[in-house]
Structure formats: C-alpha cells, structure tokens
Amino acid sequence: MIIGLTGGIATGKSTVSDYLQNKYQIPVVDADILAREAVKVYSPIYKRIVKRYGSEILLADVSINRARLGEIIFNDESEKLWLEGQIHPYVRQEMEREVKESQAPIMVLSIPLLFEAQMTDLVDEVWVVYADFDTQVARLQRRNGLSKESAIARITSQMPLREKLKRADVVIDNSGNIKDLYQITDQEILTRT
C-alpha cells in the first residue's frame, strides 16, 4: 500500500511522516527532499533557474537562495508555475523509481503538492494532515521567521486546504497537541498493518 501524505504548509506533514518512519519503520519518500536535490548546484534544473533569475538568486556558496526564490514564486503565480514545471517531473521520476524498488508492504510518499502536481496516480490512499488557518500561520511564522503577511501569502499560494480535505481518504487532524496527533496516526496505521 502506498500512502500519499499531503496537507497545507505548516500543518504537520513532516511530523506525521517522521513518526511513521521512526515508530513503524515505514519507508518515507519526501518530495521536499527530492525538490532540493533537483536544484543542487550545477544540476540542469539549477542552471535553468539561474538563467531565468540571474546570479542575484544565489548565495555566496553559489547554491540557490531558497528564501529569495520563495519571495519571487510566492508573489507571482506564473513564476511559481514555471518553477514547478522544472521540478515536478524530476520529483515524479524519483518517486516512481523509489516505489518500483521498494519491497515494503506500506510506503509513504510525502508530497505537499500531491494534487497540484497531479501525482495522485502514484498512491493508493490520500492522507491529508489538517490544521486550522490561524494555527498554520502561527507555525509558519515561528518555523520560518516570517511576517504574518508573508506567512499568509505562502499559505494562500497553495490549493486551499478545504479542497484537499474533500479529496482525502483519511484526515489527520493536527489542531491539537502532539500526543493527539500521534494517537490519530496510530489509529489509522494500525488498521492497515
């Protein structure tokens, strides 16, 4: 069984995937990690990004300044779509390879943009991690050191969480505390093992 784990930014997807990996030894393939690999220094995608945005997009070590790139794409839908068009095919290819090579009875594909990137065909079930809007904003501000306005811009640049909830097979509510989150996750995974 392949679980597609998704949700909005700062809803707790990584917390859930880390828990499943650590407690149940379920392999997790993380799209965010693959996306970072896609833009590693001098990769073909890196070169296209630098060509499009220039050297001001780079840090002193010539790696991509993710904060600067984020400012561009979270404020311009066409640039966001362009960047996703570069990265998503790489992420899909790597996910397909990982699935093909895995012998595990259950596997998690953690894909924040599962619906947007049209990758639902890779999974058997969709799990959406949910948190209310105010909780998302507060977590994102705390985690990324963003202003409230920047946090809201990032959240609203994604598909609305209510749309993801409509397409979910399982909703993991992360509006409470970590103990509650783990208990909900345990209930869901234990019915599948």
- What are the 10-residue block averages of pLDDT along the chain, 193 residues in total? 95 96 97 95 97 95 93 89 95 96 96 94 97 94 92 89 96 94 95 84
DSSP string, 93-122: HHHHHHHHH---SSEEEE-TTTTTTT-GGG
pLDDT of res. 192: 86
Q: Could you write out the three-class secondary structure of 135-182? A: HHHHHHHHHHCCCHHHHHHHHHCCCCHHHHHHCCCEEEECCCCHHHHH
CA distances to 2, 42, 47, 48 from 51, in Å = 37, 11, 6, 5
pLDDT of res. 71: 86
pLDDT of res. 152: 93
pLDDT of res. 43: 96
pLDDT of res. 55: 93
pTM here? 0.90
All structural domains of the chain, each given as residue ranges with its CATH number in brackets, are: 2-190 (3.40.50.300)
Looking at the DSSP assignment, which residues form a beta bridge with residue 169?
none
